[in-house]
Chains A and B, each alone.
Chain A
Amino acid sequence: MKIIKNITIGLSLLLSSQLVFSAQPGTTLASVNPEADRMALQNYFKKRFPDAELADYVNGIYAVDADSREQWEELESFPPYEFDVEEGERLFKTAFANGKGYADCFENGGVGIRQNFPYWDKEASTVKTLEQEINECRESNGEKPLKWGKGAIAQISAYMAWTSRDNVFDIKIPEGDEGALAAYLEGKKFFYTKRGQLNLSCANCHLQGSNVRIRADLAGPALGHPSHFPVFRSKWGSLGTLHRRYKGCHKDSRSKPLDMQHETFRNLEYFQTYMSNGLVVNGPGSRK
Chain B
Amino acid sequence: MRKLSTSMCAASLLALIATTPAIAITAEETVAEGKAVYMGKSRGNCISCHQINDPDANLAGNQGPPMVAMTQRFPDKRMLRAQVWDASKNNPITIMPPLGKHWILSEEEIDAVVEYIYQF
A residues with a Cβ closer than 8 A to B are 1, 5, 8, 12, 15-16, 19, 23, 194, 197-201, 204-205, 208-209, 212-217
Contact assessment for A212 and B59 in the assembled complex, using a CB-CB cutoff below 8 Å = no
Contact assessment for A212 and B92 in the assembled complex, using a CB-CB cutoff below 8 Å = no
Contact assessment for B92 and A204 in the assembled complex, using a CB-CB cutoff below 8 Å = no
Contact size class for B?
10 to 19
Contact assessment for A205 and B95 in the assembled complex, using a CB-CB cutoff below 8 Å = yes
Nearest to A205 among chain B residues (CB) is: B95
Indicate if B83 sits at the interface (CB-CB under 8 A).
no
Contact assessment for B88 and A214 in the assembled complex, using a CB-CB cutoff below 8 Å = no
The 5 closest A-B pairs by CB, nearest first: A215-B48, A213-B61, A198-B97, A204-B95, A216-B59
Which residue, B88, B101, B102, has most C-beta atoms of chain A within 10 A?
Answer: B102
B residues with a Cβ closer than 8 A to A are 45, 47-49, 59-63, 88, 92-93, 95, 97-98, 101-104
Contact A209 to B88, CB < 8 A, known contacts A19-B93, A215-B47: no
Residues of A within 8 A of B104 (CB): 197-198
Q: What are 14 A-B interface contacts by the 8 Å CB criterion?
A: A1-B103, A5-B102, A8-B101, A12-B98, A16-B92, A198-B104, A199-B102, A204-B93, A209-B95, A212-B61, A213-B62, A215-B45, A215-B49, A217-B61
The answer for the CA separation of A200 and B98 in the assembled complex, in Å, is 10
Residues of A within 8 A of B60 (CB): 213, 215
Contact assessment for B97 and A15 in the assembled complex, using a CB-CB cutoff below 8 Å = no
Contact of B95 among A12, A15, A200, A217 (CB under 8 A): A200
Given contacts A199-B98, A213-B63, A215-B61, 17 further A-B contacts (CB under 8 A): A5-B102, A5-B103, A8-B101, A12-B88, A12-B98, A16-B92, A19-B92, A197-B102, A199-B102, A200-B97, A208-B95, A212-B61, A213-B61, A214-B49, A215-B45, A216-B59, A217-B61
The answer for the CA separation of A16 and B93 in the assembled complex, in Å, is 7
Residues of A within 8 A of B95 (CB): 200, 204-205, 208-209
